[in-house]
Structure 1
Amino acid sequence: MLTVTRLAGEQDLTTTTSAFARKTSHTFHVDLLECLEDSILSASSRRFSLKKFDIIVATGFKQVHLTPLAASGSFRLLQLDLTYPDPLNQYLVANNALIHDLMNDKSGKYAYIVFKNLDDQLCFNYLNALEVLSRRQADEYDNFQIQRLAGLLFTELLHRHREKISKSSSNFPRKNVRHANRDAQSGAIMTYLAAKSGRVSLKEAAAYFGYQANYFSRLCRKLFAMDFVHLRRNIRINLAREQLRLTNKTLEEIASELGYQDLSSFSKAFSEASGLTPGRFRKKYGLTEQPPGQN
């Protein structure tokens, strides 16, 4: 099954049927959302920006609000049942463990991966072809093409995927990362730290994933080439950038939410990482009305 829907303007997006309820031993349901204009996505407590041609691959969407930054902004939603051999072979997704893990996740949570830096438009053109096929009364030839095009689309998304996947925006539901691949491990850790707004200790994070603190610290160095303290700081700064760009919260509110003791320590950390004070960053890149006195 394949459906392609064009959405215009602000949208509330919910996939009401769990992907896992529809999964059989040889099929997997996936939703792909493509931004056709720069937009803002809000889901639960998370809020982040999307650029034109960014793609979200999801097992489903739940209480997602989309806001295009242009009046004529639009999106393309593709819903597809993939047929695949059991076990998975290399043809469908070039044997990439990240999508395999997404397909086989048993947590029952909604998971999504955000792909950026797709400016060459190859994925856009694959989606154009799939949209054309979705309008036809599919026969066995069309179904064959749909499955192969979907495989090529995933293969392109995963080509040099570390340059394309936004781990700070994606939602990896996996808690048991002990036997996961490296990308799923790092994604799950970043998802957890972002959900906590960086307000978590090494000991608390290690316990959440079932590790001793020393081992978890070594794992962070292996996955991110930095220690836990610097990883947590980077996530805080990235969250601060999104807050400054997309909200009109005061600097004091942002500093408090991200666990800084006071505005001075937040401003110092942000300036060292960004080269601009929070106020100047907001003035240069902010998309909302600036609160009084935030210079």
Structure 2
Amino acid sequence: MAKKITVASTLALKESDFDETDKSLSNYDDNGSSRFHIRFVESLSIAEIFLNGQYVSLSPYDVIMISSKQPMTIKNLGAPAELNLFAECLRAPTPLNMVIAGDNPMVHDLMNAGENDPHYIVYRYRDNDIKHRYFELIAELERQDLNDVFVDYQRTMAVGLLFTELLRNHEATISISDSDFPGKDIHHASADTQAGSIFNYLVLHSQTATLQGTAAHFGYDKNYFSRLCRNLFDKSFTEQLAFIRIELAKRWLALSSKTIEEIAYELGYKNISSFFAVFKKALNMTPRDYREQHGYQRLKH
């Protein structure tokens, strides 16, 4: 089901907002075949979503692909927010679902993880007329008589084209830092899910993460995991952890009231001098200079 909504202030989205025609939302058909409900939110303006305890800011044409049935809250950030909502039920095994999901590894990883735990992937687009038109086309086809087998088939093909468009250039459009990838069982997952899951873990454990501890968390030998990180991130585990710490530092310096000492401690630096040295080497300015240029205190004046 596809539809457009306008959020005047705050709106709590429930599962029925995505699919008004399938109230039971069972994971199985009457014949016993499994079903997987996947949901999309396409932002047509600036908005913010609160999902799984995290805030995700959205700009025009950004998309979130969500596997969870859990409610989410949408807020506007000034003017009323406009969004496209879309839900698709994938049934397995059916030939048409191979057409829809195709070789999209992120979709398969979400399906394998199931719907009980909340997972989502954020796509950042400055502009994407093709992807947006697929959303509009699906909505238009759903306004027609879907009992017409030809219309229903066209809708199915349009959904498949949407999935294909999201897969195109996904390395550049997926926001790893804002996404919540499936679990820690990543041995047979796609490279994108592996990278996202490791990235999420390092963000959550930036203060204490070690190569050996992270490898053990994901069930890998330390040396193998080191090579895996090099392949996934094109940098060593240590370099990737340092990169994440700098990105978190930039966010906290700009958006929080935490002191620089608190930030250094929460990121795992033994002393503030080490934090200053690493930060200045990465950005050619001190944390204090960065906060003066980008911090929220500057924006308040």
Query: What fraction of aligned residue pairs are identical, expressed as a percent?
Result: 35
Distance of aligned partners of 1:127 and 1:259 in 2 relative to their CA distance in 1, 3 Å threshold: same
The residue that corresponds to 1:4 in the other structure is 3
Residue 58 (structure 2) aligned to one of 50, 63, 72: 50
1:104-156, CA deviations, whole angstroms, 9 ceiling, x for partnerless residues?
22483111111113513211111122223344453233322222111111100
CA distance in 2, matches of 1:274, 1:65: 35
Q: Distance in 2 between matches of 1:21 and 1:6?
A: 25
Q: 2:232 maps to which residue?
A: 223
Q: Is the 8 A contact 1:93 1:152 kept in 2?
A: no
- Residues 245 and 285 in structure 1, CA contact (< 8 A), matched pair in contact too: yes
Match of 1:252 in 2: 261
Partner of 2:129: 121
Aligned partners of 1:30 and 1:58 also within 8 Å: yes
Q: Displacement of 1:46 after TM fit?
A: 3.7
- CA gap of 1:30–1:7, structure 2 versus 1, over 3 A, is farther
Q: 1:201 and 2:200 equivalent?
A: no
Moved more, 35-44 or 171-180: 35-44
Write the distance in 1 (CA, Å) between the matches of 2:55 and 2:255.
8
Distance in 2, Cα, partners of 1:166 & 1:272 = 25
Counterpart in 1 of 2:192? 183
1:165-193 CA deviation, whole Å, 9 max, x = no partner? 11221111231112222222112111221
Query: Is residue 62–residue 122 contact of structure 2 (8 Å, CA) maintained in 1?
Result: yes
The CA distance in 2 between the partners of 1:252 and 1:65, in whole Å, is 33
The runs of 5 or more residues in structure 1 that have no matched partner are none
- The aligned residue for residue 222 of structure 2 is 213
The correspondence for 1:168, drawn from 138, 156, 177, is 177
Distance (Å, rounded) in 1 between the aligned partners of 2:86 and 2:266: 35
Which residue identity lines up with residue 4 of structure 1 in the other structure? K
Q: Do the aligned residues in 1 keep the contact of 2:63 with 2:124 (CA within 8 Å)?
A: yes
The answer as to 2:90 corresponding to 1:110 is no
d(CA) in 2 for partners of 1:212, 1:159: 33
- Does the alignment pair 1:22 with 2:27? yes
Give the CA deviation at 1:237.
2.0
Task: Report what 2:42 is aligned to.
Answer: 34
Residues 48 and 246, structure 1, Cα contact 8 Å, conserved in 2: no
Give the TM-score, by structure 2 length: 0.81
Residue 267 (structure 1) shift: 3.5
Structure-2 change in CA distance of 1:262 and 1:63 (3 Å): farther
Contact 1:182 1:223 (C-alpha < 8 Å) held by counterparts: yes
Question: Counterpart of 1:57 in 2: which secondary structure?
Answer: strand
Q: Which has the larger radius of gyration?
A: 2
Please, what is the CA RMSD of the aligned residues? 3.2
- Is 1:157 the equivalent of 2:183? no
**Unaligned 5+ runs, structure 2:** none
- Counterpart of 2:3 in 1: which secondary structure? strand
Under a length normalisation based on structure 1, what TM-score does the superposition of the two structures give? 0.83
CA distance 1:192–1:64, shift in 2 (3 Å): farther
SS of 1:22's equivalent in the other structure is coil
Match of 2:89 in 1: 81
| 2:36 maps to amino acid | F
